[in-house]
């Protein structure tokens, strides 16, 4: 009989990007070109497929959208992501380069890679507060990833080339292999652990807790060195309005920290909390989030796109 943590293995793959990504030695993983599995499809460059545009709009410099699963549009069809709605609002080709499961470090590195290649009119860099915690990891939900450390005041890139992902279940600690068959133990430890993916071995911590905050400003300074129009946008998951009041407070604090770092680097910023909070208070969480998801539904993504379009116009960031 195989006693290998049956309860834990039942959750693998923990990362929704498994199958939709391919290995990348610098970023760890990137979206797979040509991938198709409802509700997601990727174009030949690995970007999320976008609605068609008139021919005259296709030849203008595009808008580039980078970020994590909130930019990618987790759990909604291709044409209901906020970059897709943004494209319709501004009538300019928009590239959805979001990636499921990215940390803020990977978001910045992917933006650095794409801006010179795409030459966008403006880049919208989206993040949620949990992306700051993800900076501290060398493995996240089964995916190996790069991470930065501080060498004096400078950022030092570690874990590159990124190792191949480990086989599912192979990173479980010995005690979990011995007792992972216990559903009761799984429930108890999951509730007590700071991050259940860490104690299960699906995520590996490279830096101490809180170190991600110290790296936020140097990462925003890297974005500023691109010397291109950039709008940094703070998005929020459903948990900010959940029962855990302290979770919401911490998410707001981390979001403000990143936005302050961006502003100090002279990047344009947009905090979406107020417009989202007002909608939640007026219409409830269902107006913005899916029934069983922390991500935005189509209406939530449309509101995000409208807010970004208005901010791009207000700041005159589009030609």
pLDDT of residue 167: 80
The rounded Cα 22 to chain-centroid distance in angstroms is: 17
In the predicted model, what is the mean pLDDT of residues 93-117? Answer: 98
Q: State the Cα–Cα distance between residues 290 and 293, nearest whole angstrom.
A: 5
Residue 284 has a pLDDT of 96
Residue 142 has pLDDT above 60, yes or no: yes
Residue 7: the pLDDT is 47
Share of the chain above pLDDT 90, in %: 75
End-to-end, the C-alpha distance of the chain in Å comes to: 65
- The reported pLDDT for the residue numbered 54 is 77
pLDDT score recorded for residue 201: 56
214 within domain boundaries: yes
List the beta bridge partners of residue 95: 64
- Which residues 6+ apart lie within 8 Å of 31 measured at CB? 20, 21, 22, 42, 46, 47, 48, 72, 99
Calculate the alpha carbon distances from 58 to 83, 143, 176 in Å.
Answer: 15, 35, 53
Residue given tokens 């909070």 in the structure block: 277
What confidence tens digit (pLDDT) does each residue in 164-207 have? 988 876 656 555 555 555 555 555 555 544 565 555 658 899 99
Judge contact between 56 and 91, C-beta under 8 A: no
What CATH number does residue 269 fall under? 3.40.50.1110
- Domain hosting residue 249, numbered range: 6-314
Please determine, for residue 65, whether its predicted confidence score (pLDDT) is greater than 60: yes
Number of domains into which the chain is organized: 1
Percent of the chain with pLDDT over 70: 83
- Is 250:240 a contact under the CB 8 Å cutoff? no
- Report DSSP state, residue 78: G
Q: Is 1 domain-assigned?
A: no
Look at residue 122 and tell me if it is in a domain: yes
Does the pLDDT of residue 230 top 60, yes or no? yes
Mean pLDDT of the 299-308 span: 98
Mean pLDDT for 217-232 is: 97
Average pLDDT rounded to a whole number, residues 90-105: 97
In a domain, 236, yes or no: yes
Are 214 and 105 spatial neighbours (Cβ–Cβ below 8 Å)? no
Residue 319 lies in a domain: no
User: Within a domain: residue 11?
Assistant: yes
Predicted pLDDT at 176: 55
Q: Is the pTM of this model over 0.85?
A: yes
């Amino acid at each position: 009989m195989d006693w290998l943590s049956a309860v834990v293995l039942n959750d693998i793959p923990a990362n929704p990007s498994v199958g939709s990504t391919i290995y990348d030695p610098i970023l760890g993983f990137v979206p797979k070109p040509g991938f198709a599995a409802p509700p997601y499809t990727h174009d030949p460059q690995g970007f999320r497929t976008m609605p068609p545009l008139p021919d005259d709009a296709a030849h203008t410099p595009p808008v580039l959208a980078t970020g994590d699963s909130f930019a990618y549009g987790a759990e909604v069809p291709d044409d209901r992501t906020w970059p897709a709605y943004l494209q319709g609002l501004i009538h300019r080709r928009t590239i959805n380069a979001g990636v499921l499961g990215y940390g803020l470090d990977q978001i910045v590195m992917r933006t650095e890679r794409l801006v010179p290649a795409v030459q966008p009119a403006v880049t919208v860099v989206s993040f949620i507060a949990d992306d700051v915690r993800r900076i501290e990891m060398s493995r996240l939900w089964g995916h190996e990833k790069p991470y930065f450390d501080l060498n004096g005041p400078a950022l030092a890139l570690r874990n590159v080339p990124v190792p191949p992902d480990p086989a599912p279940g192979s990173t479980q600690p010995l005690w979990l292999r011995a007792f992972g068959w216990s559903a009761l133990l799984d429930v108890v430890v999951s509730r007590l652990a700071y991050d259940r993916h860490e104690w299960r071995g699906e995520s590996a911590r490279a830096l101490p807790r809180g170190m991600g905050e110290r790296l936020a400003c140097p990462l925003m300074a890297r974005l500023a060195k691109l010397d291109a129009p950039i709008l940094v946008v703070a998005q929020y998951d459903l948990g900010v309005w959940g029962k855990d009041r302290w979770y919401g407070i911490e998410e707001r604090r981390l979001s403000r920290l990143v936005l302050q770092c961006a502003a100090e680097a002279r990047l344009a910023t947009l905090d979406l909390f107020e417009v989202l909070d007002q909608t939640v208070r007026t219409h409830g969480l269902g107006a913005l989030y899916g029934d069983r998801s922390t991500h935005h539904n189509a209406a939530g993504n449309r509101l995000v796109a409208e807010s970004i379009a208005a901010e791009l116009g207000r700041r005159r960031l589009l030609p």
